[in-house]
Amino acid sequence: MKKKFQILFLAFAATVSAQNYRFVYEYKMKPDIENKYAEVTDYMNLDTDGKKSYFYNAVKYERDSAYQVNKDLAALFKSKNYDRNLNYILEKDYAKKETNLYDKFKTANLVLTDHESPKWVIHKEFLKINDINCQKATAKYKGREWEAWFSKDYPVNDGPYKFNGLPGLIVRVRDSEDDHIFNLIQVKKVNEMFSLVPKNSKKITEQEYKKLLKNDVFSPEDIESMNVDSKAGKMGIQLKDGYIAQLDLDQIKKAGKGNNDAEIARMLKKGNNPIERESTH
């Protein structure tokens, strides 16, 4: 793995100006603030062409790309699951120094623009991560304290989620409570940049968006369609916001204890421990 990373880094530094690159991050998060032992692992892509970048869920992208080609809803129900909190897309415009977050609430496509970047303090601490030369930086950002390790081996001042503004690529970033941890695990060249940005999205403010999420309560009316495969013991559910999940029927029956609707609602609800939270100061 170390040799593979080293070769990719050298190739990247020599050709980044003429290529599109995809950085794959492992994302570990604790979505339930009341149960910090429950951890979710997912995978996120960061695509960049040197002018813009797009950060999005890897499984969602594969699923949406396949559906655009074959329009096979049954195949979507059988595909991998990803966490419901990761339905968003982040677009960073390097020249404008702004980030657009695209999300869907019920049936409405939404977009909110953010100009706030972390105010990093760079430390004289160094670490090798997968044979990558990294330096430490810290910041208080969006209600949390963050520790990042970035590498100047990459001429890209970017990173996962909204993290940017360091003289290099962010290889690892975590908050002080280990609720949200991103680790770079793969680098690859791609022929085309991410292109599934929603059109005709309604602009809203950060306050309006947070209020929607805070007041969001799952109900059966949020379900667009369902598909039950009794032989496989699976239930496929498509929500109106585009999220699709494959649920285990036995798990629903056992945990639901006679109230299957309540168990489905529990399994599909969004987390209450967001990466951004209200600042305490």
Q: What's the rounded mean pLDDT across residues 78-84?
A: 80
Residue 70 or residue 130, greater confidence: 130
Reply yes or no on whether the pLDDT at 14 is more than 60.
no
What gap in Å lies between CA 145 and CA 56, rounded to an integer?
23
Residue ranges and CATH numbers for the domains of the chain are: 2-190 (2.50.20), 217-268 (no CATH)
Q: Write down the pTM of the prediction.
A: 0.87
Write the pLDDT tens digit of every residue in 88-143.
999 999 999 999 999 999 889 999 999 999 999 999 999 999 999 999 999 999 99
